[in-house]
Chains A and B, each alone.
Chain A
């Protein structure tokens, strides 16, 4: 299968009092057609900026310093803004956390879908209306002929997120980025929206990049996972392998600190001491080292690159000994 997305050595920086500092550093990853890829990490790990980079929505003072982004084989960072518009929406589309702020509050949802359809297709209003009704139906909104005349405030969060998905898919993109798209929803609604995304991905052979801080959502939805920390990828591989037997100390600590109903209520939850790095105070060497319980002096020497180990890739100089230590 071919790669629909290929990111090579992407570095994104922000200005700080000490000069420009990376918030995404040397990031490389790829995504196959029809794949459901997860990107997990905490606030500030660079996962949303990765999405914005893919959509070319990075604005001053944040800058893409170096790297290449290929979408269906085309290096989109070299395209003019005008040329990239043909990609945005029709090759790659994105949905966000808060559906209410993604929509125009004083415009009927139907008109917003029609607007988006007519942006991509030269068709009459009447035909676009027909397509809009169909698209609402395909995202599971009951009574679409009536709902099309609703305003956003008349709909629930789950319904609005469906409208946003319908708009995102109106240009028939091949790639959908879902940035914390179910985070603001109730668990029951979240499950329905994830089920919907799953069905759409299958029906349309859509590739979905799911960005989330919720490890449970990633486990439920994705095939493969990328774990980010401090702007770098620390581990990636098949979701089941990574979550069952995490190899990077950060992945392990992250999984240990989750609080779902499988944890022992009589024990403190294992948490990660300290704070994630700030852009103006990035550690030299491994970004996680200052908070890592396995860190040694050499971890501060240089930033470890991803290396293949046990059917996945891990960026930790101590991965072999730590994996061995676990088995002993």
Chain B
């Protein structure tokens, strides 16, 4: 069995607001095995990006631990964490805003090598060309600036930059969400190929279940700062146990008329969540809405198999 390259335990992040503190992450635990992809799915505000920022060391946790490549990082200062940045890199959603628009493609991809003083001028240039080829761009792109590239090409540049220091882990935060269908397919294929060739580990954050299905070995489903269900791709897509997971799956529009879409799940009018509810999904849950347990009884995760877990008072029966 491959080693756990990311190991997150009871991670919490509270933000102080005018009306008291908000738990953006409420004690989440997850692990990612080397060379595999873990997809984190959930709607806006579920805490996906907060989790990514913590794992990247860009933000400080208010509780819990994060172990990356055997090193506990949650309490490290940014100076202490710096050596680890060579091993863990990020690709973000917006192809344009994540690149310095005044830099050429060459300078952008060279950036991490300059920051870590890797190699000399000619070896760096050699490396930039290798990386360009690896992401399907040509030498002619070297002197271009971001505004001269398409969205898909910018995303390729961002991937090349992320790979510049030969990291072990890539965090892909909605990395294909802004791309058109045909370009998204190209970038997803590229990411799969790179993972195979380089043995990369991916933490793939997305709201798109189709993309999660295609990329992930394992999936965690987040809702309001908590992981409500986790499992392998098959477990999540074929036998979801949490009503939120099932609702998400039923909401995905599919352009395939040979598939009779499961009758849309009972849509509860967008209700205001009740803060004290033990289950944050209760106000929207067709099953738990009227149940006392869902409001009062705090649950721990139920494990149905070694990989498949859920937190639900009345899980969907299979």
Interface residues of A (CB under 8 A from B): 42-43, 140, 142, 156-159, 186-192, 194-195, 213-220, 240, 243-244, 253-255, 257-263, 265, 268-272, 275
Contacts and interface: CB of A to CB of B under 8 A. Distances in A.
A216 B210 CA distance: 11
Contacts, number: 127
Counting from the closest, the 4 A-B pairs by CB-CB distance are A216-B253, A271-B185, A186-B43, A260-B210
With a 10 A CB-CB cut-off, give which of B182, B185, B247 has the most chain A CB atoms. Answer: B182
Given A156-B270, A219-B255, A188 B185 contact: no
B211 to A, nearest CB: 6
Interface stretch (B14-22, B103-111, B186-194): B186-194
B253 A259 contact: no
16 contacts: A43-B151, A187-B207, A187-B251, A187-B252, A187-B253, A188-B247, A191-B251, A213-B180, A215-B255, A216-B252, A240-B257, A243-B257, A258-B181, A259-B188, A260-B213, A261-B214
B150 A259 contact: no
B293 to A, nearest CB: 23
Contacts of B247: 188
B254 A271 contact: no
Contact of B192 (A213, A257, A268): A268
A192 B233 CA distance: 26
With a 10 A CB-CB cut-off, give which of B258, B270, B271 has the most chain A CB atoms. Answer: B270
Interface string B178-219: 001111111011001100000000000001111101100000
B214 A259 contact: yes
B96 interface: no
B115 interface: no
B150 A243 contact: no
Contact of B257 (A158, A194, A244, A258): A244
Contacts of B213: 260-261, 263, 265
A269 B267 contact: no
Interface string B125-151: 000000000000000000000000011
Contact of A269 (B214, B251, B257): B214
Given A186-B207, A195-B264, A254-B182, 6 more contacts: A140-B269, A187-B253, A270-B185, A271-B183, A271-B185, A275-B150
Nearest to A273: B186
A262 B254 contact: yes
B259 interface: yes
Given A186-B43, A244-B258, A159 B270 contact: yes
A47 B188 CA distance: 25
Contact of A189 (B192, B208, B258, B270): B270
Interface residues of B, number: 43
Given A156-B270, A254-B182, A269-B188, A261 B210 contact: yes
Contacts of B181: 42, 213, 215, 254, 257-259
A219 B249 CA distance: 16
A269 B188 CA distance: 8
Interface string B224-251: 0000000001000100000000011101
Given A188-B251, A243-B256, A268 B189 contact: yes
Contacts of B211: 259
A213 B251 CA distance: 17
Contacts of B188: 259, 269
Nearest to B150: A275
Contacts of A260: 209-210, 213, 252, 254-256
B44 interface: yes
Nearest to A263: B214
Contact of A214 (B44, B214, B253): B253
Contacts of A42: 180-183
B172 to A, nearest CB: 14
B252 A269 contact: no
A279 B247 CA distance: 42
A286 to B, nearest CB: 17
Contacts of A269: 185, 188-189, 214
A272 B269 contact: no
Contacts of B210: 258-261, 263
A216 B254 contact: yes
A195 B43 contact: no
B162 to A, nearest CB: 21
With a 10 A CB-CB cut-off, give which of B44, B185, B249 has the most chain A CB atoms. Answer: B185
B248 A188 contact: yes
Given A191-B264, A259-B185, A265 B214 contact: yes
A265 B43 CA distance: 23
Contacts of B208: 259
A271 B253 CA distance: 20
B186 A271 contact: yes
Contact of A186 (B44, B193, B254, B257): B44
A12 B183 CA distance: 25
Nearest to A184: B44
Nearest to B272: A142
A280 to B, nearest CB: 12
Interface in B249-304: 249, 251-259, 261, 264, 267, 269-271
With a 10 A CB-CB cut-off, give which of B150, B233, B254, B261 has the most chain A CB atoms. Answer: B254
A243 B182 contact: no
B259 A262 contact: yes
Given A140-B269, A259-B211, A271 B189 contact: yes
Given A191-B264, A219-B257, A259 B184 contact: yes
B56 to A, nearest CB: 24
